Amino acid sequence: MACTDTHTLVETEIGKVATQYREATRFLAMARAYLGQLAEAHLSFCEILDHFDIDTAVGDQLTIIGKALGWPRCHCAGQRRPVFGFDCSTPSCDAPAVPVAGFCEAEWDCGGPDFIEFCFTDDELYRRFLKARVIALTGDYRRSGVTAASRALFGEHAAILRETPAVLVIATGRLLSQVEIAIAHLFGQVMPVAPGVRLKIWQSQGPAFGFGAGWGGFCAGAFPSPIALN
């Protein structure tokens, strides 16, 4: 935010001095000295706000913003446990609907907890969730609010794919990363989804088939496929 410089702050207050004291040089010098200290303190507090801008904050500053929004970096059941499997390496197939890993990093899907702890170590991923969370906290369940939150999370090609009674389907307009697949159940906690409405997320290798802003058109449009949220 724009902060007023110390000179302007001091002289604004000096301008309020009664006329009969305008020639009292010693009094004015003392007033400027004390007002200058107050102006420096005011400027310091004002500049603090720049470090807590959700668009530019990093590290601890972003963590503090997240706490204020009720969205901490770490979540006890934040990540779906990766299971044994392999990602398809050819462009003709979709990314896995659940997180998979190779021989060393995964477990056999034979019971055990479905979710494990997850901490947002990537500031940009964390920032995207916080931006969607801001919209959700306003309770803006309109198409414009849902679209804005979707694009904050997934990018400019995200769009509302389908609306049916009590179901909202979002097309991401891109393939999600393995990390995003693993934490996909968290999307519904930061999206502005009205009570009683079920959220579904569909991914694709580019903007979804359709016409208009955010859609891929007839030839380049991709056909989305659902991912597992729970």
Q: Is residue 158 a contact partner of residue 190, using CB atoms and an 8 Å limit?
A: no
Compare 47 and 158 and report the one with higher pLDDT.
Answer: 158
pTM for this one?
0.68
Domain locations in the chain as residue ranges: 1-10+23-52, 63-226
What does the pLDDT look like over 125-137, one tens digit per residue? 999 999 999 999 9
What does the pLDDT look like over 90-111, one tens digit per residue? 555 555 556 666 555 555 555 6
Rounded CA-CA distance 157/202 in Å is 12
Q: Kindly list the distances between the CA atom of residue 44 and the CA atoms of 3, 54, 56, 219, in Å, as whole numbers in the listed order.
A: 9, 19, 18, 55
Q: Which residues contact 55 (CB under 8 A, 6 or more apart)?
A: 127
Q: Is residue 128 a contact partner of residue 62, using CB atoms and an 8 Å limit?
A: no
What does the pLDDT look like over 23-46, one tens digit per residue? 888 888 998 899 888 888 888 777
What is the pLDDT confidence band of residue 120, given thresholds at 50, 70 and 90? very high
Q: What percent of the chain has pLDDT over 90?
A: 34
What does the pLDDT look like over 162-204, one tens digit per residue? 888 899 999 998 888 888 988 999 999 999 999 999 999 988 8
Report residue 180: phi and psi, to 5°: -65, -40
Largest CA distance in the chain: 88
What does the pLDDT look like over 50-84, one tens digit per residue? 667 899 889 999 999 999 899 999 998 888 776 66
